Structure 1
């Protein structure tokens, strides 16, 4: 099944279960903002006498009995509600950055997986072509051995080479199957779940060939990373969260006021008594000292963590860009050079061996060198694109991304 990167990314954002779970987590934290802004519920107090001595009646609700009604409303002082809302808002923003950090990792993994499958499938195709040619050579050698034209050792050497290539080909195929399994989990698309489906990533070859990490300036992408890295944004929000929490803990040291009306029938010097009640805790022993100190220390912790995150971001960008430049330079130096020469020479070497112009050792040595050069070049291309995607991941933004060319063939078998 052909699969374009643009289509794959669209399915990732739509179907990935981890992203869906992270979205629900954001909604849950946003609900905390609503909860933080709610006022306390009023409380109602009722006192009814069980036995009225003058009337000798139980639960006397008449004028001869005693009944007390009291309503109180708690008023939060010190701006506690606004500060609670601020803390909840920063918690929600941290949740959003966690979502974007997860998305950054998943998109990077998706792209790397597609690049891996593409180049390893090319390697498998090379092995298929080499195995076909070598199997013909082995068949010719078996006939020659029956005619006593070659030694058994020479035939066994060819068969060992054939076995080695088959084993390497199967190892590559298994790794592709593992990556395809990762792809199915990432995309979570029903039509991709069948194990009979093999993926053929469709890449923008013009982008792949023309991309040049060497043109990027480290100062520019560092500035971009400081602006877009979700984990750095989360570290900033975490510091602001602790600062807001410190303000809230100072506010919590201010006692709150409970206030409301009261009615007492038959329990005071007056038959029907109306009054006002007020309740205020005296901050004599508990002034929230412990929570304030803990919040102060948490601010210091977040400051150090933020500094460390900045250092990690700068280091990640430097290493990623240096790696991408090195891989790209190596690829540009050797692409379409000696591997092409080996490819042109391969058929000539097979014919030369069959005509006995070269020995088995020369043929085997050439074939192993030829195989190694082609496969290593394909691996270099994989490593190069992996390193290029590493730059995108380290920056937190697509500074080196393909220009998608929509195709109606994407997703077709």
Structure 2
């Protein structure tokens, strides 16, 4: 709608370096640089290290008993045959399949962390795209305000000159100035919102090129995709099936249930006592000068049979089952509401795009000229101008809302159903958005 020069002027970017940024490039930078994603990846590595730890055997235990003073020889720390020395080695053997069960619990914990990563990525990509669309359309809105302010400012100057000739009343001039002030205030409010969204974009991308506040980020959209995006082929049943397949939060809830079930098996195994077994050597401390023996140690599960942890694990399974059922209901409602919202916004936009707003734009200059020639009154002019402003701005907001609603559909399903036909480093496609299968 507006050239880059107009957009720069509109956003107060005349003194800022304009850097064009395509959505595909932005998503690539997000996967590469976003600090939250990097932290989540480290968390996955930490959980995977837990798998290695869970599979390790217990270390052997060495016990040494050395007499301090040998009475027969009157020597301290006598390590000869005349002193007494006891050496015992024990190895703990985990019974009940504890190692395999610990590994299973650790593996499920790592899988949960992977789904947390994909869920975070899903949220960040959605935020990135919405921020992108917001900045683009709000820059267009600011450019429209600037164009209107130039025309209205000329009208106010003409009215002031006419007032000096007593051709118009002071009330008319004040009415025009109030309208001018109102438009300038709205324009500044929009500019501040754009600056805030630019700050969000800088945090998401974490790229040196865009970190400096003197850089004005100019989003470049695939306008062909934006115009042709449609909800006509989307069916609620198919979307629900895809949501069950791709939603990472749903996958995490399933993994959480499996984790608690595996933990219950582990707690039952923990009720089985472990066996400590090994050789022992005693010199000079028994009836034999050199005594070799075997030691074995086993706790008798009379009082502590791990009852509390087993009950807690059983209750945790019930908790996860209810949470999973609730999440399934939330997912179904999220998808239904997202689809209905996107269809409503899309239908409204396609019904009115390039119709009456274009007519308003064509009529605007005629209305300004008509007022200056006194063909219409100040009330008619102000009413038209406010309606004109409201129509154009609301159409731009509708375009923003429509694209945000489309991203709401993608977010609710957990994969890109309606996205531009590009691929950035293989990670911004549908499978990556929705997590691993």
**What is the TM-score when the length of structure 1 is the normalising length?**
0.97
Conservation of the 8 A alpha-carbon contact between 1:204 and 1:405: no
Output the CA distance in 2 between the equivalents of 1:121 and 1:24: 37
3-state secondary structure, aligned to 1:214: coil
Matched, 1:162 2:209: no
Matched, 1:183 2:227: no
Matched, 1:258 2:291: no
Matched, 1:87 2:105: yes
Output the CA distance in 2 between the equivalents of 1:137 and 1:250: 84
Of 284, 295, 298, the match for 1:280:
298
Matched, 1:151 2:169: yes
Conservation of the 8 A alpha-carbon contact between 1:112 and 1:386: yes
Matched, 1:341 2:362: no
1:381 maps to: 399
Output the CA distance in 1 between the equivalents of 2:25 and 2:405: 22
2:348 maps to: 330
Deviation at residue 243 of structure 1 after TM alignment: 0.3
Q: Which moved more, 1:75-84 or 1:197-206?
A: 197-206
Aligned residues: 406
Per-residue CA deviation, residues 270-321 of structure 1 (Å, 9 max, x unaligned), is 1111111111111111111111011000011101111111111111000111
Output the CA distance in 2 between the equivalents of 1:47 and 1:359: 110
Output the CA distance in 2 between the equivalents of 1:347 and 1:223: 53
Output the CA distance in 1 between the equivalents of 2:355 and 2:54: 67
Output the CA distance in 1 between the equivalents of 2:309 and 2:129: 46
Output the CA distance in 1 between the equivalents of 2:214 and 2:350: 37
Deviation at residue 405 of structure 1 after TM alignment: 9.2
Output the CA distance in 2 between the equivalents of 1:315 and 1:13: 29
**Aligned-pair RMSD on alpha carbons?**
1.0
Deviation at residue 64 of structure 1 after TM alignment: 1.3
**What is the TM-score when the length of structure 2 is the normalising length?**
0.92
Output the CA distance in 1 between the equivalents of 2:283 and 2:342: 85
Of 131, 153, 176, the match for 1:135:
153
Matched, 1:217 2:235: yes
**Residues 295, 405 of structure 1: CA spacing in aligned structure 2 closer, same or farther, 3 A cutoff?**
closer
Matched, 1:304 2:322: yes
Deviation at residue 53 of structure 1 after TM alignment: 2.0
Of 12, 21, 32, the match for 2:39:
21
Output the CA distance in 2 between the equivalents of 1:9 and 1:160: 43
Name structure 1 gaps, 5 residues minimum: 407-413
2:375 maps to: 357
2:338 maps to: 320
3-state secondary structure, aligned to 2:232: helix
Output the CA distance in 2 between the equivalents of 1:131 and 1:343: 14
Matched, 1:240 2:285: no
Name structure 2 gaps, 5 residues minimum: 1-18, 425-437
3-state secondary structure, aligned to 1:65: coil
